[in-house]
Structure 1
């Protein structure tokens, strides 16, 4: 009897693939805190608990919380009377908690403490009589929330170096600057330098506003990108910090893709790739990193190496509304 015809595709040895995994990656302390706030609120108040805006920018996380009893809405008028509501980690304008109080709604503010710090700085600069130049991305929830901390007209958005050139504040005007917490470290430094050149007396924040997690994740990508043929960033297309990680990799001339799940990957991406860099934005859970590695292992013989560039031990306290 003849032997069965061999399946050469199955028997063929997989090509090796070195995967350089960035560390730190994934969840930051602010995201951990925000997710725990929603979970504890559901335990304490019972489902449903409403959340204004995505608690963090990650569909996997949002869907997981929906399954536990969270309902996500864009505006407060979508929240029925008598149910608790949570404000997202990105922060909200002052008008939002004011409206909640007026309606007698129980609310929990999950704003990242590092974003709240920027809010307090904005208030102090206005109190000191300074106009604020805010470096950030138009339409991002964090920018909307920060603008909502000060009176209309108290803040001007600066997105690019060319925006700096078009500013026309008179000499002697009291100015200060603040930044969104999830920006490109390098781009922001260039804009800050341009502002200081144009307005030498501009008042800087006491400490950098870009958060530790954003800075650390970008620094980690700077380590893996030069040694990689391709970098994959796990994150949402509306996640500012994840988009910045793609940009950081591309500046090294390395091809980079932003993906939300392993299912978005194509085997053709690995053609000519011997070393792949992998990281995750601050809203992406570690399960998605393992999911991507498992999918890569279906196609190639994966050898993992983790490159640690910083240790993160930051933990933020939970608000009393979910702890007492």
Structure 2
């Protein structure tokens, strides 16, 4: 942990809006909180409910038991599936074990799962644009594993070997960088002119909004700070977006990660947070920066989010 020493420099903090929690993250966290309140026995959560260390630690302190796989969950217990979604094989295992499942999958991820089944069902090879190893990607590929191939970059498109080039569809991970995803889709379309895709973009509204909000301030800032955990895909994309605007960007889990050398001589700081980062962490970063010297906080709002997702059925009031 670095110590920020007061330097008396007056800094302007350009605060991107929207930032922090999205509707899918809020729904997932609330699902775990309500399950803890409503269920008598332990509540297990498969994987991290959302990709943020602070959120996971707070829910663990409240009694949630986080596990990597279902074999760590006792038969008949309650288990919450994370916002990133799971494959049909995981659902089947839970049913075989008699687990009570509370499915906190983001509805926008569920949309991609439905599309994967539909595209594969009509006989297409499904090209999923995403990052290998990400939980969302693993869940989506599990919908039609024999018909789905994964690509992460436009360069990888050249290596695809598809049996029928006239029957190809694409889907995307919901948390990709909009520009980079478009590059991959363009490469796919150039190679497979009959390429088909979803009726509406798979990259979620919150990912897009946070990228647009950061783009509005990145060029003006001398430094960009993105609040989010290292395994948060949408947060990582924000750091990369800052770099594309030739502005140094750093991912921080909270104020403890701030380093004084980043701030030396910097008078304009861009600040945002990934969709799984609690809003209070942004406030704590502002407070830490104000400890170095006077700050002026200016919020730049590019859009207003009004999306709300209903809770899983089993958690709703009777």
Do the two structures share a fold, i.e. TM-score over 0.5? yes
Aligned runs of 1:7-22 on 2, under 5 Å?
14-22=8-16
1:241: Cα distance to partner?
0.2
> Aligned to 1:53, which of 47, 50, 53?
47
- 1:171 Cα offset (Å): 5.7
Question: For residues 55 and 300 of structure 2, what CA distance do their matches in structure 1 show?
Answer: 25
CA distance in 2: counterparts of 1:234 and 1:280, whole angstroms: 4
Q: Distance in 2 between matches of 1:264 and 1:246?
A: 15
Q: Which residue does the alignment assign to 2:176?
A: 183
Residue 155 of structure 1 corresponds to: 148
RMSD over aligned Cα, in angstroms? 1.3
The 5 Å alignment of 1:42-191 reads: 42-150=36-144, 152-170=145-163, 172-191=165-184
Give the number of aligned pairs: 313
Deviations 1:292-315 (A, max 9, x none): 011001112111000000000000
Q: Which residue, out of 160, 175, 190, partners 1:197? A: 190
- Give 3-state SS (helix, strand or coil) of 1:299's partner: coil
Distance 1:37 1:310, change over 3 A: same
| Superimposed CA distance per residue, residues 31-57 of structure 1 (whole angstroms, 9 cap, x where no aligned partner) | 000000000111110352000000000
How much does 1:204 deviate? 1.2
**Distance in 2 separating the partners of 1:255 and 1:294:** 21
TM-score norm. by structure 2 comes to: 0.96
Alpha-carbon displacement from aligned partner over 1:115-173 (angstroms, at most 9, x marks no partner): 000000000001111110000000000000001111x3210001011111112325644
SS in structure 1 at match of 2:219: helix
Question: Which of the pair has more CA radius of gyration?
Answer: 1
C-alpha separation in 2, matches of 1:101 and 1:196: 40
Moved over 4 A (4+): none
TM-score, L = length of structure 1: 0.94
Residue pair 1:267, 1:299 contacting (<8 A) in 2 also:
no
In the alignment, the residues of structure 1 paired with residue 216 and residue 249 of structure 2 have an alpha-carbon distance, to the nearest angstrom, of 14
SS of the residue aligned with 1:35? helix
**Aligned residue number for residue 36 of structure 1:** 30
